[in-house]
Amino acid sequence: SVQGKTALVTGSTSGIGLGIASVLAAAGARVILNGFGEVEQAQAQVARLGSAPGYHGADLGDAAQIADMMRYAEREFGGVDILVNNAGIQHVAPLDQFPVEKWNAILAINLSAVFHTCRLALPGMRERHWGRIINVASVHGLVASKDKSAYVAAKHGVVGLTKTLALETARTPVTCNAICPGWVLTPLVQQQIDKRIAAGTEPQRARDELLAEKQPSQEFVTPEQLGELALFLCSDAAVQVRGAAWNMDGGWLAQ
Ligand code: NAD
> Does residue 55 carry a catalytic annotation?
no
| pLDDT for res 233 | 98
Question: Do β-strands 6-9 and 82-85 pair in parallel, antiparallel, or remain unpaired?
Answer: parallel
| pLDDT for res 190 | 95
Query: What average pLDDT is seen over the chain?
Result: 98
pLDDT digits (tens, 9 = 90+) for 169-179: 999 999 999 99
CA of 171 to the centre of ligand 1 (A): 31
Radius of gyration (C-alpha) of the chain in whole angstroms: 18
**Phi (first) and psi of residue 245, to 5 degrees:** -120, 95
pLDDT digits (tens, 9 = 90+) for 49-66: 999 999 999 999 999 999
**Spatial distance between the Cα atoms of 48 and 25, rounded to a whole number of angstroms:** 9
**Spatial distance between the Cα atoms of 9 and 24, rounded to a whole number of angstroms:** 10
Q: Identify how many contiguous H helices and E strands the chain contains and give both numbers.
A: 9, 7
CA of 15 to the centre of ligand 1 (A): 7
| pLDDT for res 223 | 98
Question: What is the mean pLDDT of the segment spanning 82-106?
Answer: 98
Q: Is the CB of 59 under 6 A from ligand 1?
A: yes
**DSSP type of residue 52:** P
Question: What is the mean pLDDT of the segment spanning 158-187?
Answer: 98
Q: Which of 183, 84, 63, 184 is nearest to 135 (CA)?
A: 84
Q: Residue 153 — very low, low, confident or very high, per pLDDT cuts 50/70/90?
A: very high
CB 215 within 8 A of CB 250: yes
CA of 186 to the centre of ligand 1 (A): 8
Q: Residue 136 in 3-state DSSP?
A: strand
Interface ipTM above 0.95: yes
Q: Is the CB of 187 under 6 A from ligand 1?
A: yes
Helices 149-168 and 113-128 pack at an angle, to 10 degrees, of 20
